[in-house]
Amino acid sequence: MGFDNHLPTRRELLVGSGALFAWSQMPRIARAEGRDPRLLVVVLRGALDGLGAVAPVGDPDWVGLRGDRALVLDGKPPALPLDSFFALNPAMPNLHRLYKTGKAAIVHAAATPYRERSHFDGQDVLESGFTKPGATASGWLNRALLATESGGRVDPRGSRALGIGSVTPLVVRGSAPVMTWVPQKLLPASEDTQNRLLDLYQHTDPKLATVLQARMKLASLGGAPGTGDPMSDDPTLMPPGIARVRAYFAEAAGTAARYLAKPDGPRVGAMGFVGWDTHIAEGAASGQLYNLLGALDGAFAAIESNMGEVWGETVVAVVTEFGRTARINGTQGTDHGTGTVAFLIGGALTGGRVIADWPGLKSAQLFEDRDLKPTTDLRAVLKGLLRDHLRVEEKVLADAVFPGSADVKPMGGLVG
């Protein structure tokens, strides 16, 4: 069964015999050009609040919308200015630095074609590349990899993708082989999951609620190392503090980068980070979301440093299934919405800009009078990256990688 895995395992399942066929890892056409591009996709599961990550501080309706929860340039801490209109969450100094040096771009008010608000279905659409949710066995990144190899045929000698985590993200699953790596630091149930379970128990089973609450309290009091708390030695008894989340993000992302950087390693990879479903006490400026974005920013630093010399040939696309409500809800959080941001970082990017066809924040400008209206199709961004970075042909992108997307033109000029 599955209950286990508390014995931390570090496994690497290599498919095929990697090192002997290093050349086959490299997308065929790019190889012909003497390039060796890398693409890492990071899926933020739970739906990131794009407005809490990248705030439209220049929009006259912004502060009215979020009140004292709005990120502002003179806030505490102050948001980091990106241009005259947008500012970045202060938890992300690395991203800010990359942006300033042209190695990061932000796409705002973007969304997949999915217009409902179910996480699972939204993630299916985001990762499968299809226009509708439903059972699909493969993801767009895997199909794109197939397209770059030998005219669409899998090279049996080892063209492969990288999946990080004990479950391979759907985006990278498919008929091209996937090697997976499971981080050593297994992330126990998140604070968010614990809070939800506690809420559930409070409504259904007071006894279980009491026990769970006591455990959470104990961990928050004595969880820090060095306090002499006997519990602190046992990771299974502690809910993860933000320090552990940061460590997990950095290890997972850093390892992905190390594999992609290897001369004979895979060239595309994918990983997921959970915890973005901030219904209660979102804490964009200080709190839950701030902490998570900080951990993500640390993951960016780990990727940059571990890519080493091939950073210049790297693109990382950070995407989420949908956004959140434009307004704050009754519990100082945000509910499921539509338009949100995507982060693009990497030495191969032509960045330093926020790409947005800004829809505005007035009631009538919001999607269904509640969400940031999506004005950019996320598939256009991804197709642009696949075409210009990995050299996947446009027709293949429209037919096989993102079926039914012929009228969604690849966005040009993202990579240099």
Partner 1 sequence: MSNSAKAEAVLALHRFGMGPRPGSLAAVGTDPRGALIAELDRPLALSAAASLPTSAKAYRTVADANARRAARAKQAQQQAKKQQVAAVPTAPGDQAQAQAQTEGQAPAQGQEKDAAEMAAKQAADAVPDPGRPIYLQEAKLRTEAALAADIGFAERLVWFWSNHFCISAYKIQSMSGAYEREAIRANALGHFVDLLLAVEGHPAMLFYLDNLGSMGANSIAGINRSRGLNENIAREIIELHTLGVRTGYTQDDVISFANVLTGWTLVPPGDNPEHGGEFTFNPRLHEPGGQTVLGKRYEQEDAEQGRAVLRDLAAHPATATHVATKLARHFVADEPPPPLVEQMAKTFRDTEGDLKQVAITMVSSDDAWRGSPSKLKRPSEWGVGMVRATGITVVDPTRFTAGQELLGEGLWRPSAPKGYPDDEASWIDGIGRRLDIANNFAERVAATADPQGIIEDVFASQIAPEVKQAVGRAESRQQALALLFMSADFQRR
Q: Any contact of residue 333 with partner 1 (CB under 8 A)?
A: no
Helix ranges, 139-281 (H): 140-148, 191-204, 206-222, 242-261
Establish if 244 lies at the interface with partner 1 (CB under 8 A).
Answer: no
Give the SS3 label for residue 244.
helix
Which one of 40-48, 69-77, 154-162, 256-264 is the stretch in contact with partner 1 (CB under 8 A)? Answer: 40-48
Considering the complex, what minimum distance in angstroms separates the CB of residue 182 from partner 1?
Answer: 10
Q: How far is the CB of 217 from partner 1 (least distance, A)?
A: 11
Task: Output the six-digit token pair for 24.
Answer: 């086959």
Work out which of 97, 115, 119, 353 binds partner 1, going by CB under 8 A: 119
Tell me if 4 contacts partner 1 by CB under 8 A. yes
Interface stretch with partner 1, choices 43-51, 85-93, 241-249, 379-387 (CB under 8 A): 43-51
Quick check: 135 and 379 in contact, CB under 8 A?
no
Query: Left (φ > 0), alpha (ψ -120 to 50) or beta: where does 35 sit?
Result: beta
d(CA 185, CA 88): 29
Answer yes or no whether residue 281 interacts with partner 1 by CB under 8 A.
Answer: no
Q: Does 47 bind partner 1 (CB under 8 A)?
A: yes
Question: What is the rounded distance in angstroms from the CA atom of residue 18 to the CA atom of residue 3?
Answer: 31
* Residue selected from 62, 130, 140, 276 as contacting partner 1 according to rule CB under 8 A: 276
Site for partner 1 in 71-110 (CB under 8 A): none
- Residues in contact with partner 1, shown as a per-residue x/- string from 200 to 219 under the rule CB under 8 A: xx-xxx-xx--xx--x----
The answer to whether the peptide bond before residue 27 is cis (omega within 30 degrees of 0) is: no
Give the C-alpha separation, 29 to 78, whole Å. Answer: 45
Instruction: Quote the CA–CA distance of 295 and 247 in Å, as a whole number.
Output: 8
CB-based contacts of 130: which residues, under 8 Å, 6+ apart? 124, 136, 402, 403, 404
The answer to whether 275 contacts partner 1 (rule: CB under 8 A) is yes
Residue 29 or 274 with smaller CB distance to partner 1: 274
Q: Shortest distance, CB of residue 172 to partner 1, whole angstroms? A: 12
b/e for 188-218, b at 16 or more Cβ within 10 A? bebbbebbeebeebeeeeeeebeebeebbeb
Using CB under 8 A, which of 188, 222, 283, 287 touches partner 1? 188
Residue 253 beta carbon to partner 1: minimum distance, rounded to whole angstroms: 17
CB of residue 241 to partner 1, shortest distance in Å = 15
Stretch that binds partner 1, among 13-21, 185-193, 282-290, 376-384 (CB under 8 A): 185-193
CB nearer to partner 1: give 171 or 396: 171
Residue 370 is a binding residue for partner 1 (CB under 8 A): no
Q: How many CA atoms lie within 13 A of 37 on its CB side?
A: 26
242 burial (CB, 10 Å; 0-12 / 13-18 / 19+) is: middle
Closest approach of partner 1 to the CB of residue 13, in Å: 14
Minimum distance between the CB of residue 46 and partner 1, rounded to whole angstroms? Answer: 3
Residues 145-184 that bind partner 1 (CB under 8 A): 165-168, 170, 173
> With binding defined as CB under 8 A, does residue 224 bind partner 1?
no
Cβ proximity to partner 1, 136 vs 148, nearer residue:
136
Cα 261 from Cα 312, distance rounded (Å): 11
> Smallest distance, Å, CB 263 to partner 1?
31
Query: In angstroms, how far is the first alpha carbon of the chain from the final one?
Result: 48
* Calpha distance 220→212 (Å, rounded): 12
What residues line the site for partner 1 (CB under 8 A)?
A: 1-7, 45-47, 118-120, 123, 165-168, 170, 173, 186, 188-190, 192-194, 196-197, 199-201, 203-205, 207-208, 211-212, 215, 236-237, 274-277, 279
